[in-house]
Amino acid sequence: MDVARRLERAARRILEPADAFMNRLYGWRYNPIYHSGALALALLAVVLITGIYLLFFYRVGAPYESVARIEGQAWLGRWMRALHRYASDAAVAATALHLLRMFAQGRSFGPRTLAWLSGLLMLFVIFVAGWTGYVMVWDTAGLILAREGARLFDALPLFAEPIGRTFVGERALPGAFFFLNLFLHVALPVGLGLLLWVHVSRVARPNLLPPKKLMWGAIGLLFACSLFWPAPLAPPADPLQVPDRAPLDAFFAFWLPLSRALPAGVVWALGGLLVAAVALVPWWTRPAAPLKPRPSVVNQRLCTGCEQCYLDCPYEAITMEAGLERDHPVARVHPNLCVSCGICAGSCAPMGVGPPERTGRDQLAEVKALLAARRPTGRELVVIACRHAAGGLADRVPPLEVRILAAECAGSVHTSVVEYLVRAGVGGVLILSCPPRDCWHREGPKWLEQRLFHGREAELKERVDRRRVHLAYAGYAERRAALRAVEEALGKIAALEVAAGETAITLDEECEPASEPASEGVNRT
Amino acid sequence: MSAAARRLVSLFAAAAATFGVAALSRVPYPPARPEHAAIRLAWRAPGQRMEQCRRATEEELERLPVHMRREEICEQHIFPYRLELLLDDSLVLARTIRAAGAHRDRPLYVYEEIELDPGRYKVTVRFSREMPEGALRGRIEGDFPEELRLEQEADLGPRAVALVTYDPETRRLVIGGNIGQ
Ligand code: HEM
Ligand code: SF4
Ligand code: SF4
């Protein structure tokens, strides 16, 4: 196994147990780690709003005094400042989790390269905005940060006059310095909006905000903390004193103790290496040819032009275009946008699209082979488990009464497969998916659930005995939950009559043309 | 875990995470209280400009167009200066300060900081012109002194910074900051 896969696995070893723990506490709907990207965005919105308030009172001519005055406003200013700060800190923490999550799940290369790079750029902007924010206060902590920044930049041949001279204490600091600092602090985050647009430009229906309960819960807690534990304000910066102990923000200044202990050149070299390693992740984690995810292909002869795959693809990798020898538009997959999740394979009733060897037709062939090798007893359970979740059951040897099929994504499972299994006489089918917000491919479980139980196109047909079809969610580290779902399904099968199998099974391979234009995300029933 | 216990634990965990964020937002730095004082040497000096000329070689002349051929090739530099700091007559810092810029034609910037124990010191700073290697043929420009020298007692309390700068009006080094005269 190469280095990239090993690192990804190591990251998953950290993330998966944490996910499982959070699911137990908050349930998967409100698991903050699942929502870390959206949570970061919600927190940045709080930073923006509180920042606008603070801007009214900040004075470049008397920075420290103006912040002290804000601190003096016991009712509004003090907690606004604290919330501005704590929300930025929490946003950095959430972004770090989001980054770790994307890396651990291998969502860092190919069509996701643009999201990876723009995300890093956003993180960098947040980081610089934080740095300038602390300098703005111009207390001891601000002075320490400004001095260190000047030391590092003076080691580069950038400025005609060393900027460190600004802070020697010979004369008062020019207002121009604070103006420039304020400008950076405000202008950079404005660029975040543009970057965010780029960041989510390749995903369909981005989840920009976390569920309300989670969002307001997090903001409420930070607000309470701001009320009861306001942000510290160190004594004013005095360049003619060796700085006393100052409260530093670990989220933005974690690097400072290391940096101060090293020569500037070494700091630049180490920082440069780290940035290069993270920025080049899309290139060094990209799997080599045999393991590279293969993009979906459309079989134009089968495509009826129903548009369902085009609506379901979570990466907007499919467009409808005029087809050769067809009098209606047909689906076309753009290989450079396709992450090979296979979700379109589950969307297509005529089974005309999907990654090579994973289309509905390929899935059916696999199931037929499984049943040919061992005839259904009418009592067994067939578990279709997502490889990336489902308590890791996809990697396990099952007990006798359970058979396991592995899927890249539960959302890629074609409902015909479920229909075929049930009508062939297996006791029951359990699809074990990841919890919906955990999906490596974003929307797999969401579409699957709608196809199974709410008639979303490529739906499980009415005639299939629903008592024998089960859907459960479990993360990779949630083996107990996965096994419990298996036990429950087996229990339900035991309570039913022995399934009778049909012999000549014919499946419909038709889809109704999409009549409602905006059918995505809406239950058809 | 019962539903009520889980609710309690989940609330507690969220509160603890929030508390953790606020606590990490104010980590005391540096970890130990520094009780030292410091002497900071910081100034900008125009320095002395010199023009160094040498006879051009045959090849160099050939490379130039006819109307630009001169016997001598001259380059302008600023002299480097030797910086020395002595505390109670013992040398604690000695450095050559070279002019900034790729062509060594920009001012001399001095920026040094020495940490020391609080106390009373005789501070001596010397800033004197250095002769570069090789013969100098040409003129020296500018009225910046060939040597600057400061000798003064300073009483440095804990965390006090003494600041030595150059005063272009009087063309002398001056000491200021928290020196408790
Ligand atoms: C300010 C910081 C950030 C915010 C607010 C943010 C927000 C988001 C949001 C809302 C999504 C869409 C999620 C979805 O609907 O599935 C997303 C996707 C993504 N983010 Fe970020 N992000 C940030 C930083 C980062 C960083 C630092 C990285 C990594 C270096 C990153 C990597 C990604 C990737 C790869 C995706 C695409 C996921 C996929 O294709 O499945 N993001 N981000
Ligand atoms: S596999 Fe299908 S659904 Fe997934 S990204 Fe590619 S085209 Fe879209
Ligand atoms: S779902 Fe199938 S039939 Fe419908 S547009 Fe896509 S490929 Fe064509």
**How do residues B139-180 score in pLDDT, each as one tens digit?**
777 788 889 999 999 999 988 999 999 998 898 999 988 777
Q: Would an 8 Å CB–CB cutoff place A190 in contact with chain B?
A: no
3-state secondary structure of A363: helix
Cis peptide before B30 (omega within 30 of 0): yes
Instruction: Give the relative orientation of helices A77-104 and A63-72 as an angle to the nearest 10 degrees.
Output: 100
Residue A317 lies in a domain: no
Find the helix or strand (DSSP H, E) in which A34 lies. Answer: none
Q: What is the mean pLDDT of chain B?
A: 86
Residue A153 shares a structural domain with residue A64: yes
What's the number of domains chain A is made of? Answer: 2
Q: If pLDDT is split at 50, 70 and 90, which confidence band does B136 have?
A: low
Is the beta carbon of A458 within 6 A of some atom in ligand 1?
no
Residues A50 and A186 in one domain: yes
Residues with CB under 6 A from ligand 3: A 298, 303-310, 330-331, 347-348, 350, 352-353, 511
pLDDT at residue number A14? 94
One domain, residues A372 and A266: no
Residues in chain A within 8 Å Cβ distance of B21: 86, 89-90, 93, 222, 225, 251
Which residue bears the tokens 């390693």?
A277
CB atoms within 10 A of CB A472: 19
Q: Which of A365, A163, A179 lies closest to A264, judged by CA?
A: A163
Instruction: Assess if residue A53 is contained within a domain.
Output: yes
Cα angle value A142/A144/A150 (rounded, 5°) = 100
Structure tokens at A376: 């259904």
A160 burial via Cβ count (<10 Å: 0-12, 13-18, 19+) = exposed
Strand pairing category for B27-29 and B140-141 = unpaired
pLDDT of residue A393: 82
Beta bridge partners of B153: B122
- Residue A478 belongs to some domain of the structure: yes
Taking any CB pair shorter than 8 Å as contact, residues of chain B touching chain A are 1, 6, 9-10, 13-15, 18-19, 21-22, 24-30, 33-34, 36-38, 40, 42, 44, 100-101, 106-107, 109, 111, 115, 159-161, 163, 165, 176-178
A374-A376-A379-A381 Cα dihedral, nearest 10 degrees: 70
DSSP symbol at A339:
-
Are residues A62 and A150 located together in one domain of the fold?
yes
Pair (A269, A415) in one structural domain: no
A275 and A407 both lie in a single domain = no
Residue A316 is predicted with a pLDDT of: 95
How many C-beta atoms lie closer than 10 Å to residue B56's C-beta? Answer: 16
**Facing residue for B26 by CB, picked from A222, A232, A239:** A232
pTM, whole model, 2 decimals?
0.90
Q: How many CB atoms lie within 10 A of CB A263?
A: 11
The pLDDT value recorded for residue B161 is 92
How many Å lie between the centroid of ligand 1 and the Cα of residue A101? Answer: 10
What is the 3-state secondary structure of A185-244? HHHHHHHHHHHHHHHCCCCCCCCCCCCHHHHHHHHHHHHHHHHHCCCCCCCECCCCECCC
Same domain, A9 and A140: yes
SS3 A106: coil
> In tens digits, what is the pLDDT along chain A, a chain of 525 residues?
588 999 999 999 999 999 999 999 999 999 999 999 999 999 999 999 999 999 999 999 899 999 999 998 888 999 999 999 999 999 999 999 999 999 999 999 999 999 999 999 999 999 999 999 999 999 999 999 999 999 999 888 887 778 888 888 888 888 889 999 999 999 999 899 999 999 999 999 999 999 999 999 999 999 999 999 999 999 999 999 888 889 999 999 999 999 999 999 999 999 999 999 999 999 999 988 778 889 999 999 899 999 999 999 999 999 999 877 778 899 999 999 999 999 999 999 999 999 999 999 999 999 999 888 888 889 899 999 999 988 888 777 676 677 778 888 999 999 999 999 999 999 999 999 999 999 999 999 999 999 999 999 999 999 999 999 999 999 999 999 999 999 999 999 999 988 887 777 777 776 554 444 443 433 333
At A516 the pLDDT is 42
Cross-chain residue pair A244–B165, CB shorter than 8 Å? no
Residue A241, domain member (yes or no): no
Q: Based on the domain organization, do A179 and A66 belong to the same domain?
A: yes
Give me the amino acid identity at A297: V
Would A244 be classed as within a structural domain?
no
Instruction: Find the CATH number of the domain harbouring A169.
Output: 1.20.810.10
Same domain, A277 and A369: no
Q: Are residues A268 and A401 in the same domain?
A: no
First CA to last CA distance, chain B: 70
**What does the buried/exposed string (b/e) look like for B10-45 if buried means 16 or more CB atoms within 10 Å of the residue's CB?**
beeebeeebeebbeebbbebeeeeeeebbbbbbbbb
**Best mutation target, A83, A92, A161, A170, to test chain B (most B CBs within 10 A):** A170
Residue A198 domain-assigned (yes or no): yes
Residues 243-262, chain A: which have Cβ within 8 Å of B? 243-251, 253, 256-257
Instruction: State whether A99 and A204 are in the same domain.
Output: yes
Please check whether residues A276 and A140 belong to one and the same domain.
Answer: yes
How many residues can be counted in chain A? 525
What integer pLDDT is reported at residue A511 of this predicted model?
58
Find the domain containing A103 and state its range. Answer: 2-235+262-284
For an interface test with B, give the residue of A35, A79, A168, A229 to mutate (most B CBs within 10 A): A168
